[in-house]
Structure 1
């Protein structure tokens, strides 16, 4: 599992976890649609960073460097 050491993957994972927290807080306290949209964007960016991190680590392991 070398992709877990990748910085992009770690940052993306943190973003996804933060977006889940923001979504729960928004639903609990009715903080408005803007925070809801923000949590969705954070989750999307986080997933893309996680995918990029996995792809980069697989590419690096194939080249052997």
Structure 2
């Protein structure tokens, strides 16, 4: 994850800020975090339950939630 973040120019501080804005208080609460084409980071919480496939069909298969 760290190497991908470096390539994308996303710092730990950037990610922490977005997680806080999404109401995340622990990394275990994150199901999926995506750097969108706009440069924004989207966060899907693990507590949200099953992730509808439509929500991640534009991501490479290796990034899809398990």
Q: TM-score normalised by the shorter chain: which range applies?
A: under 0.3
Higher fraction of strand: 2
Higher fraction of helix: 1
TM-score, normalisation: structure 1:
0.25
TM-score, normalisation: structure 2:
0.25
Which has the bigger relative contact order, CA under 8 A and spacing at least 6?
A: 1
